Amino acid sequence: MVASADLNISIEKTSHGTQQIPSHLFNINMEDFMLLSNSQISYLYRSIKGSKTTMVYAYDGTRRSWLINENNSQFGLPSKDKTVLIDYAEYSKTAIHNLLYQLVMMFQHGVDTIVYPMWFCTLENRGPEYLPKFIQYLWGLKALLDNPELIEMYNANGIRVIFYGEFRELLQRGNDPELLRVFEKIMDQTKHNTQKTVLLGTNIQEPSDVIIKETFDFYSKHGRKPSKNDLVKQHYGVDVSDVNFYLGFDRFSTDGRPILISDKGAEDLYYSVSPHSFLSTTQFRKVLYDHLFLRSVSNAKEYTLTAMDIEMMKIFYQNNSNSIMGVGAVNPHGRYWYPTPQVMVSGGSSNSGGSSSSSVPSLLIHLMGQKAMNNSNTGNDSQMTSPPESPCNISRKNSFNSNSSASQFFNNNSNSASPHVNCHGHSCHSPTKSVSLPGSPRGSPSLGGLSNSPPTNKNLSPSLLNRMQPFLQSS
């Protein structure tokens, strides 16, 4: 854990004597968040989510990324008639290496435990020919014994590696006792690392069968009914907190969702479009920012909304009444599924992230323009094609600009970045220059693609304009 003293932060004390993060640190926008050091993000994450956090990284897409890299290296421009096959001997040498480096980067951002569900029961449907290929892929984990750079990084960051579940049974089926010895040696070599934990899972049976078996095993050994914590420690080998978020790839499913620690279903779900081998620090920080600041928003439960808020909400949901997240298509070149764009928003740029302090009348004038009031076309609300920018609460409450106290704090502590670690082509240290997100102007966080430009009158029907007229008259 990064100590607060490392960041020169003055910790506030509550009336009960407990430590509390200064409130201004919750008001950072996405672009400023991207510029923080790993240690600063780690401090924020652990202060908000606690010191015991768990994520699931369902690392996937390695065969696709290997084919892409192989095609680029051997053939240059792709030929439509050339078939590229996976050489699993070569594939196993590099496929899992990216994961091992990415785990270090993720831990340096404050996550305490990372679960990688290597094998799960649905993979049994791929047939017996898949298991030998998968076991060959797992041989890439031997880098934790052979690669001096990885060994040093895992020891320096206090990362312990634990294999859990039915990995012995799986390797027995694959007739590979030597790989089992590799797994056991990795666990023995990292057992004294106590700061972070990687859990590499194998589940052959269905989750319910595993839980039943674990329960009977515990009762037979201890003569009493197990608690949830008892079963968690027995199954994973260590105490593990409930999952905070899940990072998958491709289809919106939760393959390998770890048992017992996902029972509440409270984890935030994220999915990359491209294979995880290509996952960057920037992409991971986008996930963290959304997880920390956007999934829980003001008014989420109270619904203390103005009439204007409700109208903007109505427009947004009307425009997206036929949209379903998770609907996709199949690319004919490769026969892979991908999600298709579903959400309609105004324009394509992001909001500036500044606080909303203008009055409703002036905002409405800025939003619609006098031309929209005087030249509205006939129609009804259901004919709106694109929602205008909401004037109220479209950015998080109290978002700060470059002159805010939070920005000033981080500027004053720019030397607190964690030591540079070469992550084999994957930056495990924080960016040293501004990261411009696609479609986002500098200084603007990417908060759902809301537009800064005022909408045209095609966005607003006469009936809606009439309901807004009292607000405008007061200006």
Between CA 288 and CA 236, with CA 164 as vertex, the angle to 5 degrees is 70
Provide the pLDDT for residue 422.
42
Question: What is d(CA 245, CA 280) in angstroms, rounded to the nearest whole number?
Answer: 17
- Per-residue pLDDT at 111: 97
E strand or H helix that includes residue 245: strand 243-249
Contact 199/236 with Cβ under 8 angstroms?
yes
The owner of tokens 């929602």 is 387
263 in any annotated domain: yes
Cβ atoms of 217 and 231 within 8 Å: the answer is no
User: According to the model, what pLDDT value does residue 383 have?
Assistant: 37
The pLDDT of residue 25 is 62
Supply the pLDDT for residue 93.
77
Examine residue 44 and state whether it is found in any structural domain, yes or no: yes
The domain tally of the chain equals 2
Q: Angle at Cα 204 formed by Cα 198 and Cα 208, nearest 5°?
A: 95
Exposed, middle or buried by CB within 10 Å (0-12, 13-18, 19+), for 256?
A: buried
Residue closest to 86 by CA, chosen among 137, 27, 151: 137
Do residue 126 and residue 50 come from a single domain?
yes
User: Residue 336: enclosing H or E segment and its boundaries?
Assistant: strand 336-339
Same domain, yes or no: 270 and 312: no
Report which DSSP code applies to 226. Answer: P
Closest CA to 197 of 233, 149, 247: 233
Residues 11 and 92 occupy one common structural domain:
yes
Domain around 402: 307-321+346-473
Distances (CA, A) of 306 to 57, 240, 360, 393, 454: 40, 43, 10, 10, 20
What is the longest distance spanned by two Cα atoms in the chain? Answer: 80
The answer on 367 and 287 residing in a single domain is: no
Residue 436 maps to a domain:
yes
34 plus 93 within the same structural domain: yes
Q: How far is CA 280 from CA 86, 272, 274, 287, 326, in A?
A: 24, 11, 11, 11, 23
The angle at the Cα of 392, spanning 394 to 400, to the nearest 5 degrees, equals 60
Determine, yes or no, domain membership for 104. Answer: yes
**Dihedral angle at the C-alpha atoms of 262, 200, 57, 196, nearest 10 degrees?**
90
Q: Both tokens of residue 431?
A: 């960016």
Q: Are residues 316 and 290 in the same domain?
A: no
Is 134 found in the same domain as 264? yes
Give the helix ranges, DSSP H, for 300-379. Answer: 307-319, 360-374
Same domain, 317 and 275: no
pLDDT at position 133, please?
A: 87
| Residue among 351, 115, 153 nearest 237 (CA) | 115
End-to-end CA distance of the chain: 53
> Quick check: is 338 in a domain?
no
Q: Which CATH number belongs to the domain containing residue 263 in this structure?
A: 3.40.1180.10
Grouping H, G, I as helix, E, B as strand and the rest as coil, residue 197 is: strand
In a domain, 162, yes or no: yes
The whole-angstrom separation of Cα 264 and Cα 242 is 8
What is the number of alpha carbons within 13 Å of residue 419 lying toward its C-beta? 4
**What are the Cα distances from residue 37, in Å, to 42, 54, 148, 414?**
9, 21, 25, 8
The reply to whether 246 and 358 lie within a common domain is no
Please report whether residue 340 resides in a domain: no
Residue pLDDT tens, the chain, 475 long: 333 333 444 334 444 444 455 566 667 889 999 999 999 999 999 999 999 999 999 998 888 888 888 877 665 555 667 788 888 878 887 888 889 999 999 999 999 999 999 988 777 778 788 888 888 889 999 999 999 999 999 999 999 999 999 999 999 988 899 999 999 999 999 999 999 999 999 988 888 999 999 999 999 999 999 999 999 999 999 999 999 999 999 888 888 889 999 989 999 999 999 998 899 999 999 999 999 999 877 666 677 788 998 899 899 999 999 999 999 999 998 888 999 999 988 643 333 333 333 333 334 434 444 334 444 444 444 333 333 333 333 333 333 333 344 444 444 444 343 433 445 444 454 333 333 333 333 333 333 333 333 344 444 555 555 555 554 444 3
The CA distance from 158 to 104, in Å, is 10
Helix axes 281-289, 38-49, angle to 10 degrees: 30
pLDDT value at residue 354: 35
pLDDT given at position 88: 82
Token pair, residue 361, equals 């009348």
The number of C-alpha atoms within 13 Å of 284 and in the hemisphere containing its C-beta is 31
Instruction: Say if 302 falls within a structural domain.
Output: no
Kindly state whether residues 131 and 264 are assigned to the same domain: yes
115 bridge partner residues:
56, 199
What confidence score (pLDDT) does residue 367 get? 45
The answer to whether residues 254 and 359 belong to one domain is no
223 and 357 fall within a common domain: no
